Structure 1
Amino acid sequence: MAYTNVLFDIDNTLVNSAFLIAETLQKSTLKEGIDIPVSRFRSLIGMPGDEILKRFGVENWQRVLERYSVDFSKNMYKLSYFTGIKELLEKLIQEKIKIGVVTSKNKKQFFDETKLFPEIADLKIITTSDDTEKPKPSGDPLLFTIHHHDLRKKSTLYVGDSMYDMQAAYEAGIDFAAASWGALPGTKFEFAKYVLKSPADLLTLI
């Protein structure tokens, strides 16, 4: 099927960031006297940070997120695109495909954390968690994006690495492609129309 619009998750889909996020959240939470393994944080990457902390029963989640933001900013130099992502974005733009991001980051986090990635920061289609009342895995962020930017569902593909991305696409009624290069091993993408082994595989769908 030919797609004219491609929407992406960011963390561990475009940018190799999930482990740094999980590690920073774990260290920030530990300072509250709560010891949660990094692996448990990693398993929930794809949800907003406040939702992750609330799920673990962290009462002072606002303070943890403030500490997280400071520490994460100091270590952003460790982040990078996955191999082939920058070239993929450039090629999609050359092919006149509308591209954008739908992320669980809030607006401040988005602009703070994409400073090193202008190809993402400069996109015209950007939906963050504070654009809708319900974040992913709700389909609302994707539906907001489709309506706000006058996109057609049938010609829109969402690309993400987590079950939360897949659930959001399923609820929104649009096709989903799993970015297996950033997904946790063993993740079952039962509602995915495509399971991509590399960013280059996406070009064959367009």
Structure 2
Amino acid sequence: MLVVKYQVILFDIDNTLINSADLVASTLRNGALKEGIDVPLSEYRKRIGQTGEHILKEFGVKNWQRVLSNYMVEFGKNMYKLAYFSGIESLLLGLKSKEVTIGVVTSKDRHQFDREVSCFPLIENMKIVTTSDLTDKPKPSGEPLTYTISAHGLDLARTLYVGDSVFDMQSAHEAGLDFAVASWGALPEAQFPTARYQLRNPMDLLKLV
């Protein structure tokens, strides 16, 4: 396989850079339970990568705005549990040393992003940040990535998107970007038929630039 040397690496955040999907899923579920909606935790976990609004509406939570408001409070209380995956800090610093442009394209809105990455300066200080409120359609639509390419004048062919979910893969495919699976955060049963790369660990990514 011909390996493209990428100039730009865009990342998902939850369970790609930060080991956070379980906390996101459990916090959403606890909020929905208070509204009388009892859906197994595993179903929430499968949907991480989509917006909280979308997930709650799919499960029939009518007062989803209230759940998301309370989510921010409860998630904030438990942020001390979050950490980078092993190797992520070295990866991000290594990409910077190679003068590779890095950024994030996430299903968090800007308020969530500002709150939830405040303890992760390598993410917080990225120059490219696309949050869900910047486009009409969130992932799995390709619109967030298409927006990012256009807004920052990026070369589509030299840009790679890295994520852990099928929603990330679908978004990249629709936008015409190469996609790499962050296997360290992906669900074991998830299938990624259109992914160009399967990354076993973060340092595998340095070989692509």
Task: Specify if TM > 0.5.
Answer: yes
Query: Is 2:37–2:60's contact at 8 Å kept on the other side of the alignment?
Result: no
Output the CA distance in 2 between the equivalents of 1:35 and 1:19.
Answer: 17
Identity %: 59
1:112 is matched with 115
The 8 Å contact of residues 27 and 75 in structure 2, kept in 1 or not, is answered as: yes
Per-residue Cα deviation, 1:19-67 (whole angstroms, up to 9, x for no partner): 0000111111111111111111000000000000011111110011111
Equivalent residues, number: 206
Match among 150, 153, 156 for residue 150 of structure 1 = 153
Equivalent of residue 75 in structure 1, options 71, 78, 81: 78
Q: CA deviation at 1:178?
A: 0.4
Asked if residue 122 in structure 1 is aligned to residue 125 in structure 2, the reply is yes
1:36 maps to: 39
| AA matched with 1:122 | N
**Which residue of structure 2 lines up, in the alignment, with residue 4 of structure 1?**
7
Give the secondary structure class of the aligned counterpart of 1:138.
Answer: coil
Q: Deviation at 1:164?
A: 0.2
Q: Distance in 2 between matches of 1:127 and 1:134?
A: 12
**Mapped partners of 1:118, 1:200: distance in 2:** 20
Amino acid corresponding to residue 92 of structure 1 in structure 2: L
Q: Deviations over 1:107-134 (max 9, x none)?
A: 0000000011010000000000000000
1:200 counterpart residue number: 203
Q: Would you say 1:16 and 2:23 are equivalent positions?
A: no
Match of 1:46 in 2: 49
Which aligned segments of 4 or more residues in structure 1 are displaced greater than 4 angstroms? none
Amino acid at match of 2:186: A
Tell me the residue number matched to 1:25. 28
Name the amino acid aligned to 2:202: P
2:64 equivalent in structure 1: 61
Contact 2:37 2:59 in 1 (8 A): no
Q: Which amino acid aligns with 1:108?
A: H
Structure 2's unaligned 5+ residue stretches are none
Residue 172 (structure 1) aligns with? 175
Distance 2:189 2:28 in 1: 23
Give the TM-score taking structure 1 as reference length: 0.99
Structure 1 unaligned spans of 5+: none
TM-score normalised according to structure 2 size:
0.98
Q: Distance in 1 between matches of 2:143 and 2:29?
A: 28
Q: Any idea what SS the aligned residue of 1:101 has?
A: strand
Name the CA distance, whole Å, in 2 between partners of 1:109 and 1:78. 17
Aligned equivalent of 1:97: 100
